[in-house]
Amino acid sequence: MTTTISAKPVLITGGTGKVGSRLIPRVLSQGDPVRALVRDPESEAALRLRAAGAELVVGDLATLDAAGFKDVVDGTAAVIHLAATFRDSPTPERATAVNTDASTALAEAALDAGVTRFVFASTNLVYGGGHHAPQDEQAELGPIAWGGPYPVSKVAAEKSLQDLRIRRGLDLRVLRLAFVYGDGDPHIEEFMQRPLDWHSSRRLQMVHHADVAQGALLALRAEGLSGEVFNIADDSAATLAEIYRYVGRELTPDMAEREVTEPWFGIVQNGKARRVLGYRPLYPTMWQAVDAGAM
Query: Identity (one letter) of the amino acid at 63?
Result: T
Average pLDDT over residues 183-188: 97
Dihedral of the alpha carbons of 68, 72, 73, 77, in degrees to the nearest 10: 170
Query: Range of 48's domain?
Result: 10-180+208-233+269-281
From the list 266, 271, 119, the residue with the least C-alpha distance to 178 is: 266
Residue spans of beta strands (DSSP E) within the chain: 10-12, 34-38, 55-58, 78-81, 117-123, 171-177, 179-181, 203-204, 206-208, 228-232, 238-239
In a domain, 239, yes or no: no
Lowest mean pLDDT among 39-48, 107-116, 142-151, 211-220: 142-151
DSSP 43: S
Q: Distance (Å, rounded) from C-alpha 126 to C-alpha 249? A: 30
Mean pLDDT of the chain: 95
- The pLDDT score that the predictor gives to residue 90 is 80
| 210 neighbors 182 (Cβ within 8 angstroms) | yes
Q: Distance (Å, rounded) from C-alpha 158 to C-alpha 235? A: 24
In a domain, 220, yes or no: yes
Half-sphere exposure of 246 (CA within 13 A, CB side): 23
Dihedral sign from CA coordinates of 171, 282, 189, 198:
positive
- How many Cβ atoms sit within 10 Å of the Cβ of residue 90? 19
Number of domains making up the chain: 1
244-247-253 Cα angle (round to 5): 30
In a domain, 87, yes or no: yes
Average pLDDT over residues 130-144: 91
Per cent of the chain over pLDDT 70 is 97
Separation of first and last alpha carbons in the chain: 24
In a domain, 17, yes or no: yes
- The pLDDT score that the predictor gives to residue 155 is 97
* Pair type for strands 238-239 and 203-204: antiparallel
Lowest mean pLDDT among 48-57, 85-94, 262-271: 85-94
- The pLDDT score that the predictor gives to residue 185 is 97
- Residue 12, phi then psi, degrees to nearest 5: -120, 115
- The pLDDT score that the predictor gives to residue 194 is 87
pTM: 0.95
In a domain, 124, yes or no: yes
Longest alpha-carbon distance in the chain: 59
**Does position 161 have pLDDT exceeding 50, yes or no?**
yes
Per cent of the chain over pLDDT 90 is 89
- The pLDDT score that the predictor gives to residue 2 is 47
**CATH number of the structural domain spanning residue 37:** 3.40.50.720
- The pLDDT score that the predictor gives to residue 43 is 96
- The pLDDT score that the predictor gives to residue 1 is 44
Average pLDDT over residues 279-285: 98
Residue spans of beta strands (DSSP E) within 160-279: 171-177, 179-181, 203-204, 206-208, 228-232, 238-239
In a domain, 38, yes or no: yes
In a domain, 254, yes or no: no
268 strand-pairing partners: 135
In our burial notation (b when 16+ CB lie closer than 10 A, e otherwise), range 3-42 reads ebbeeebbbbbbbbbbbbbbbbbbbbebebbbbbbbbeee
Dihedral of the alpha carbons of 220, 224, 227, 229, in degrees to the nearest 10: -60
In a domain, 167, yes or no: yes
**Does position 143 have pLDDT exceeding 90, yes or no?**
no
Lowest mean pLDDT among 82-91, 182-191, 197-206: 82-91
- How many Cβ atoms sit within 10 Å of the Cβ of residue 118? 26
